[in-house]
Amino acid sequence: MRARTAPAGWYDGQVAIVTGGGSGIGAALVRSLRTAGATVVVADLEPGADGVKLDVTDAAAVQELVDDVVREHGRLDLLFNNAGISLIGETQDLSLAQWNQIIDVNIRGVVHGVAAAYPVMLRQGGGHLVNTASMGGLMAAGLLTSYVMTKHAVVGLSLALRSEAAAHGVGVTAICPAAVETPILDKGEFGRVRGRDYFLKGQGIRRPLDPDVLAARTLAAVAAGEALVVEPVQSRVAWRLQRIAPGFTQRASVKFVAKQRQLAARRS
C-alpha cells in the first residue's frame, strides 16, 4: 500500500537541495519540503530571489554547492536531482548538438549530483537521493527518443545505486510521472510535433498532473523508502500492462506515433 502523505515531523530539520527548483516539479518539491519543515536550497539556472544559480552540467559547480551546504548546515539529508529538459520531434531531425545537450543535462546532471552528494551521505551514515525521471524512463514511445533514452538511464542509475546504498542507510528514489503541468510541456519542440499535443491529446490525457500533488506523493514515498514514484494511477496500469504484454504496448506505441504525425500534418 503506497503512503499518500509523509509522517508528521519526518522532514523537520532536514537539509535539502533541489536542482531545477525554480519552476515546475522542482518548485513544487521546494514548497512541499518547506511546508514539511525542511531547510531547502533552491538551485536553478533561474533560481529566483531565494535561490542559487546552478548549471548542473558543470560538475565543479555542483560539487561546490554541495560542499557549501554541508559547511553551512553540517550535513545534507536530501538531494533532489530534478533539473531536466526535453526534446520532442523526429529522431532523424535531431542534431548531434541536441543529443549532447540532453545527455549533458538529463544524465550527466544527475551523475554530477550523485558524485557530489553520495559520498557525503555515506560519511554521515544516512541521506536520500531523489532523481526525477519520467514514465519515459519505464516505457518507450517514439518522437521523444532522446528524452526516453536519458530517463531510462536515470531509472537504471537509481535502482542500481539503491541496492548498494541500502547497506549504508542511504535511500534512492526515482520519480516517474506522466504529463505534469509544468513549463516542459511547452519546451523542447523541434519540427512539427507539439509538446502539449504529444503529452495530452496523443495519450488521451484530459488534464496534466498537478505538480503539487506529485510533490506531496514524492515526499511520502521518500519517507516510506519507496524505489519508484509512478503517477497517476493510469500510468501504473500502463506500466504493468507493458510488463505483461510488451508486444501489445509496442503496437500501441506505433499507432501513437502515427497519430502524432497526423496531428502535426494538420498544422502544416
Q: What is the mean pLDDT of residues 19-39?
A: 97
How wide is the angle at C-alpha 39 spanned by C-alphas 179 and 182, nearest 5°?
Answer: 15
pLDDT of residue 200: 66
Distance separating alpha carbons of residues 67 and 5, to the nearest angstrom: 31
Of residues 226 and 250, more confidence is placed in 226
Cα-based distances in Å from 143 to 10, 27, 57 = 41, 27, 24
pLDDT of residue 3: 65
What CATH superfamily classification does 15-267 receive? NAD(P)-binding Rossmann-like Domain (3.40.50.720)
pLDDT of residue 30: 98
Strand partners, 53: 44
Q: Does the annotation mark 147 as catalytic?
A: yes
* Residue 254 DSSP symbol: H
State the pTM of this model: 0.92
Q: What is the mean pLDDT of residues 152-174?
A: 98
Single out the catalytic residue among 11, 118, 147, 198.
Answer: 147
Weakest mean pLDDT among 15-29, 124-138, 236-250:
236-250
Domain positions in the chain are: 15-267
Per-residue model confidence as pLDDT tens digits over 87-128: 988 999 999 999 999 999 999 999 999 999 999 999 999 999
